Amino acid sequence: MHPALQGLLTIAIGVGACIGYFYFSNIILDKVIFPARGQNAGRNINRANLVRPWLFLLPGLLALGLYLAYPVVETLRLSLTDRDLGGAYVGLENYRKMSGDPKFWEAMRNNAFWLLVVPAMSTAFGLLVAQLTDRIRWGSIAKSLIFMPMAISFVGAAVIWKLVYDARPLGTEQIGILNAIYLALGGDQPMNWLTIPFWNNFFLMVVLIWIQTGFAMVILSAALRGVPEETIEAAIVDGANPFQIFFRIKVPQIMGTIVVVWTTITIVVLKVFDIVFAMTNGQWETQVLANYMYDQLFRARDWGVGSAAAMVIMLLVTPILVWNVYNARKEMK
Amino acid sequence: MDNIAGKKPALVWATHISVALLVILWLFPTVGLFVSSFRTADQISSSGWWKAMFPQEQNTMIRTASPETQQQIDGNYVIEGNLFAEEGGAAGEISAWGISSRDIAAYAPGDTADMGEDGQLTVAVNGDYRLVNSTEFSGRRGERVFLTAITPPSFTLDNYRTVLVDGQATDKMGKAFINTLTVTIPATVIPILIAAFAAYALAWMDFRGRAFLIAVIVGLLVVPLQLALIPLLSFHGAVVEWFIALVGTPMEDNARRFAEVGALGRMFGFEPGDTINSKGYLGVWAAHTGFGLPLAIYLLRNYMVGLPKDIIENARVDGATDFQIFTKIILPLSFPALASFAIFQFLWTWNDLLVALVFLIDSSGETTVMTRQIVELLGTRGGNWEILATAAFVSIAVPLTVFFFMQKYLVRGLLAGSVK
């Protein structure tokens, strides 16, 4: 069967099964198990209403449990076992092995830089664009153009930026814009930007900053609009200049949103995989955790160390996870 | 009230200029790839794409027509034609030409070069040439002419033809395009449906543990899917083995291959000796559904909570069941949130590489998706920018279209989805 047909069939079966499940489970609940008839009608209605939420939630909870909650526990278990020994418990052996691997520490170092640079730059650029486009007439067009990279895949972005970084031998025409500019400004040699250890990390980060700035801009732009006019008016009356208004009045009032944007991008950074995989594949000292983990799992076939690396990512995400849950609970009260 | 900057013309100008600069900076890389996808390999390697819009000076070597085309006019042998037409290229304007690679600009347009016993060659500005000799031309190939010519910008759709229709198998994106679409659509539709019911329960039904469940979902929002790879891969393998044991008998040394097939298995079209791969569309659909659910439930619940309470309570009083309220009232009213999530999930599944690598693409490569194909091209044809650029643009085009038409919903979804 052609996969496209198979896809259509899956939609039909999937959607049909979902609707069928919800419809019939409700009918069975109301008509068969707890019928709203006879002497127990009142009690039955109440009982049915106690069960019904779980009917609605069941498929979602099953999928979440199986595809997200269980893997967290299972990965933790795998990280403490050795596949070659038939899955025997080996304690922290995998973690010890991993911490003896220079590639792991390279990934940790690079991730630290990614975590410092990308959220900061994306948020800063996003804030800058949000503020600048706020009052100009073509601001919405400008915003939508800067937002556009959000729709482009990491892999597509990798190709786009590889062309920017392209290097041709000296004497031939440069087709990468960066080298063309570099030579025009007096550089003496075309540079292979992606193979210069340490600095190449920053050339990779540029790609993610380019993508994430749009996200930061959209959220921060909405937040800036929400800043009460009175506070700004009062500042103007007091003789504040535009920079003071921005840094002393507006930014403090949207600090909460800035934190949200920052943490959201931080999570994206921790999971960054495609960009490194497509552009350097961790060569020339550009390894990051997610790619290191992929290497361990599918190239070295070492599930133990791979799972340990995944747990490190999970560990780094946990503070943000706790913070988010805490805030969500606070908001619901 | 006007921004304070509005009162200072210098600041207004500074704002306009800096925004324009930022926009150009952001667009430049993408435009580069886009322009490159319409240029030939020669054009791409001979000049930067930013020069493609302008007429440019190019040095080329073109051969005159072969001696077979010579005619006898007034006792002389003559070969005539247009140099640009010989190569099938775009017309241009010749500024200098030569007949030897050592001196490619020896003659001006209109000059006649004496090539001794090879005859006299005259080349005009527009590329028309006339090669005259008193004796017959021999040989199979024409004379070499070196041109320095200004060629106008020219673009071609050939790359798209190569990539989509008639390129080599490795360059082909047509199949990968269909595969990506096959992954994307079920992976977008199914989570929406599941999430909508769950979100309704979390928003409008009262039960114990509701607040806890919401907290769990907020937590799951940020769980890196890297953690799910190995456990789920094993799980999918286990499902395959279980299925084979259910509808037939597995082989002794390979639990994922049928030794015998029961009646039920034959209904599915399996035969003895068939192997079921644990990688495939079903797995990738399920994985995308699972990974998309936290955001879907979270977004939809937040939206549904904000719907007017009166409508729902009135409907309850009128005797509507929860199922009716959900399908007749909540679902239509939630359209904007459903659209927001649909766009997110579509972009995410279309652009995904990792999930497809782990759960879909097997060694046969039959189910490769576009992102994977592009990474492959980056490795094998890293220098062939015309193929790479075009392939990348084929994959980017769909999300970009969706983006520009449905930006409103995307923005709305982002605003609602970021945990405040």
Domains of chain B: 4-51 (no CATH), 56-152 (no CATH), 164-417 (1.10.3720.10)
User: In whole angstroms, what is the distance from residue A81 CA to residue A311 CA?
Assistant: 13
Query: What are the pLDDT digits (tens) for B236-282?
Result: 888 888 888 887 777 777 777 777 777 777 777 777 777 777 788 88
Q: Specify the amino acid at residue A136.
A: I
Q: Do B322 and A161 touch (CB under 8 A)?
A: no
Residues 80-109 of B with CB under 8 A from A: none
User: Which of B210, B214, B322 is opposite residue A328, by nearest beta carbon?
Assistant: B214
Q: What percent of chain B has pLDDT over 70?
A: 95
**Residue located via tokens 């193929």:** B387
Tell me the three-class secondary structure of chain B, residue by residue: CCCHHHHCHHHHHHHHHHHHHHHHHHHHHHHHHHHHCCCCHHHHHHCCHHHCCCCEEEEEEEECCCHHHCEEECCEEEEEEEHHHHCCCCCCEEEEEECECCECCCECCCCEEECHHHCEEEECCCCEEEEEECCCCCCCCCCEEEEEEEECCCCCCHHHHHHHHHCCHHHCCHHHHHHHHHHHHHHHHHHHHHHHHHHHHHHHCCCCCHHHHHHHHHHHCCCCHHHHHHHHHHHHHHHHHHHHHHHEEECCCCCCEEEEECHHHHHCCCCCCCECCCCCHHHHHHHHHHHHHHHHHHHHHHHHHCCCHHHHHHHHHCCCCHHHHHHHHHHHHCHHHHHHHHHHHHHHHHHCCHHHHHHCCCCCCCCCCHHHHHHHHHHHCCCCHHHHHHHHHHHHHHHHHHHHHCHHHHHHHHHHHCCC
Q: Does B132 touch chain A (CB under 8 A)?
A: no
Q: How many CB pairs under 8 A join A and B?
A: 354
- Write down the number of H helices and E strands in chain A: 16, 2
Alpha-carbon span A213 to A217, nearest angstrom: 6
Nearest beta carbon to residue B19 from set A11, A142, A176 = A142
B223 touches chain A (CB under 8 A): yes
The predicted-structure confidence for A20-30, as pLDDT tens digits, reads as follows: 888 888 888 87
User: Is there a contact between B192 and B342 (Cβ–Cβ < 8 Å)?
Assistant: yes
Partner residue facing A14 (CB), from B190, B354, B374: B190
- Asked whether the predicted pLDDT for residue B98 surpasses 60, the reply is yes
Helix (H, G, I), strand (E, B) or coil at A82: strand
Which pLDDT band holds residue A1 (cuts at 50, 70, 90)?
Answer: low
B404 interaction partners in chain A (CB closer than 8 Å): 144, 148
> What tokens were used for B151?
């060629």
How is residue A151 annotated by DSSP?
G
Task: Output the CA torsion B64→B67→B73→B76 (10° steps).
Answer: 100
Is the pLDDT confidence value at B326 over 50? Answer: yes
CA–CA min distance A59, chain B (Å): 6
Q: Count CB atoms within 10 A of the CB of residue A74.
A: 18
**Using the beta-carbon criterion (under 8 Å), do B293 and A67 form an inter-chain contact?**
yes
pLDDT of residue A186: 81
Mean pLDDT over B44-63 rounds to 76
How far is Cα B398 from Cα B176, in angstroms, rounded to an integer? 13
The pLDDT of residue B2 is 47
H or E segment and range at residue A263: helix A255-270
Q: Cβ separation of A14 and B195 shorter than 8 Å?
A: no
Residue whose entry in the numeric block shows the structure tokens 């170092």: A109
Residue count of chain B, please give it: 420
Range of weakest confidence among A140-144, B175-179, B220-224, B377-381: B377-381
**Cβ of B201 and A174 within 8 Å?**
no
Measured in degrees and rounded to the nearest 5, phi and psi for residue B91 equal: -65, 155
Per-residue pLDDT at B6 exceeds 50 = no
What residues pair up with B261 in beta bridges, in sequence order?
Answer: B248
| pLDDT-wise least confident of A75-84, B29-38, B84-93 | B84-93
Cβ contacts of B281 on chain A, cutoff 8 Å: 3, 6-7, 10
Residues of A in contact with B230 (CB under 8 A): 71, 74-75, 78, 297, 303, 306-307, 310
Lowest mean pLDDT among B176-185, B227-236, B250-259, B305-314: B250-259
Residue B176 has pLDDT above 80, yes or no: yes
Reported pTM: 0.84
Stretch A262-288: mean pLDDT, rounded? 86
A67, B2: Cβ pair inside 8 Å? no
Interface confidence, given as ipTM, is 0.86
Is residue B4 over pLDDT 60? no
Interchain CB distance below 8 Å, A71 and B392:
no
Q: Which residues pair with B60 in a beta bridge?
A: B147
Whole-number percent of chain B with pLDDT over 90? 5
Pick the closest to residue B370 from B182, B183, B176 (CA basis): B176
Q: What is the pLDDT of residues A110-130, one digit of tens each?
A: 999 999 999 999 999 999 999
| Mean pLDDT, residues A144-150 | 89
Place A211 in a pLDDT band, splitting at 50, 70 and 90. Answer: very high
- Closest to A165 in 3D by CA, of B397, B38, B382: B382
Q: Domain A101-332 adopts which CATH fold?
A: MetI-like fold (1.10.3720)
Tell me the nearest-neighbour CA distance from B41 into chain A, angstroms. 12
On whether any CB of chain A is under 8 Å from the CB of B388, the answer is yes
Cβ distance A71 to B221 less than 8 Å, yes or no, reads no
In this complex, is the C-beta atom of B212 within 8 Å of any C-beta atom belonging to chain A?
no
Cβ separation of A128 and B211 shorter than 8 Å? Answer: no
Neighbour-count burial of B381, counting CB atoms closer than 10 A to its CB (0-12 exposed, 13-18 middle, 19+ buried): middle
A19 contacts on B by Cβ (under 8 Å): 193
What pLDDT is attached to residue B5? 45
For helices B281-305 and A41-64, give the axis angle rounded to 10 degrees.
130
Of B231, B374, B402, the CB nearest to A75: B231
Residues of chain A with C-beta less than 8 angstroms from the C-beta of B193: 14-15, 18-19
